[in-house]
Amino acid sequence: MNFQFSEEAEALREQARRFLEDRSGREKARAVMTADSGIDRDLWAEIVALGWTALRIPEEHGGLGLSVLELCVLAEEVGRVVSPVPFTSSVLLATEALIAHGTDNQKAKWLPKLADGSAIGTVALAEGTATPGTRSKVKIVDGKATGVKVPVADAKVADFIIFSGADGLYLVETGASGVTMDGVETIDLVRLSARVTLNNAAVEPLNGGQAGLEHFLQSAAVLLAFEGLGGADAAMEMALGYAKERVAFGRKIAGYQAVKHRLADMYIKNQLARSHAYYGAWALLTGANELVQASAGARLAAMDAYQFAAEENVQLHGGIGFTWESDCQFYYRRARLLTLMLGAKAHWADVLVRALEQRNTMMAA
Alpha helices in 246-290 (DSSP H): 257-286
Q: Which whole-number Å values give the CA distances from 226 to 5, 20, 77, 284, 340, in the listed order? A: 13, 16, 8, 13, 16
Query: Are the C-beta atoms of residues 83 and 28 closer than 8 Å to each other?
Result: yes
Question: Given the complex with other proteins, which of 44 and 332 has the nearer CB atom?
Answer: 332
What is d(CA 231, CA 238) in angstroms, rounded to the nearest whole number?
10
Q: Is residue 332 close enough to count as binding other proteins by CB under 8 A?
A: yes
Q: Which stretch binds other proteins (CB under 8 A): 113-121, 227-235, 345-353, 355-363?
A: 345-353
Q: Which of 35, 49, 187, 288 binds other proteins (CB under 8 A)?
A: 187
Under rule CB under 8 A, how many of the chain's residues touch other proteins? Answer: 52
| CB of residue 298 to other proteins, shortest distance in Å | 18
Distance, CA of 313 to CA of 316 (rounded, Å): 5
Residue 131 DSSP symbol? P
The closest of 305, 310, 335, 337 to 321, measured between CA atoms, is 310
Instruction: Tell me the per-residue interface mask from 223 to 252 with other proteins, x by CB under 8 A, - otherwise.
Output: ------------------------xxxxx-
Applying the rule CB under 8 A, the residues between 102 and 141 that interact with other proteins are 125-132, 134-135
The burial of 18, by beta-carbon neighbours within 10 Å (0-12 exposed, 13-18 middle, 19 or more buried), is given as: exposed
* Residue 86 in contact with other proteins, rule: CB under 8 A: no
Minimal distance, residue 337 CB to other proteins, in Å: 6
17 binds other proteins (CB under 8 A): no
CB atoms < 10 A from the CB of 114, how many? 28
CB 217: neighbour CB atoms within 10 A?
A: 23
| Contact present, 70 and 175 (Cβ < 8 Å) | no
At 252, which helix (H) or strand (E)? strand 251-252
Q: What's the chain's Rg over C-alpha atoms?
A: 20
The distance from CA 172 to its chain's CA centroid, rounded to whole angstroms, is 21
290-309 positions binding other proteins, by CB under 8 A = 307
Q: Give the binding range for other proteins (CB under 8 A) out of 32-40, 99-107, 139-147, 182-190.
A: 182-190
In the complex, the smallest distance separating the C-beta of residue 273 from other proteins, rounded to whole angstroms, is 17
Contact with other proteins (CB under 8 A) among 5, 19, 256, 267: 256
Name which position in 4, 7, 185, 361 contacts other proteins (CB under 8 A).
185
CB of 96 to other proteins, least distance (A): 19
Site for other proteins contains 354 (CB under 8 A): no
Provide, rounded to whole angstroms, the least separation between the CB of residue 183 and other proteins.
Answer: 8
Residue 63 phi, psi dihedral angles, 5° rounding: -110, -170
Binding-residue pattern over the window 312 to 331 for other proteins, x denoting contact by CB under 8 A: --xx--xx-xxxxxx-xx--
Task: Tell me whether residue 247 or residue 365 sits nearer to other proteins (CB atom).
Answer: 247
d(CA 276, CA 74): 17
Check residue 125 and report its DSSP letter. Answer: -
Give 4 or 257: the residue with its C-beta nearer to other proteins.
257
Comparing CB distances to other proteins, the nearer of 41 and 244 is: 244
Per-residue b or e along 70-103, where b marks 16 or more CB atoms closer than 10 Å to that residue's CB: bbbbbbbbbbbbbbbbbbbbbbbbbbbbbbbbbe
Stretch that binds other proteins, among 167-175, 178-186, 201-209, 266-274 (CB under 8 A): 178-186
- Of 3 and 249, nearer to other proteins (C-beta) is 249
Q: Does 311 bind other proteins (CB under 8 A)?
A: yes
Residue 62, phi-psi category: left (phi > 0), alpha (psi -120 to 50), beta (remainder)? left
- In whole angstroms, the minimum distance from the beta carbon of 15 to other proteins comes to 33
**Residues within the interface to other proteins (CB under 8 A):** 125-132, 134-135, 150-151, 184-188, 193, 195, 247-251, 256, 258-259, 307, 311, 314-315, 318-319, 321-326, 328-329, 332, 336-337, 339-341, 343-347
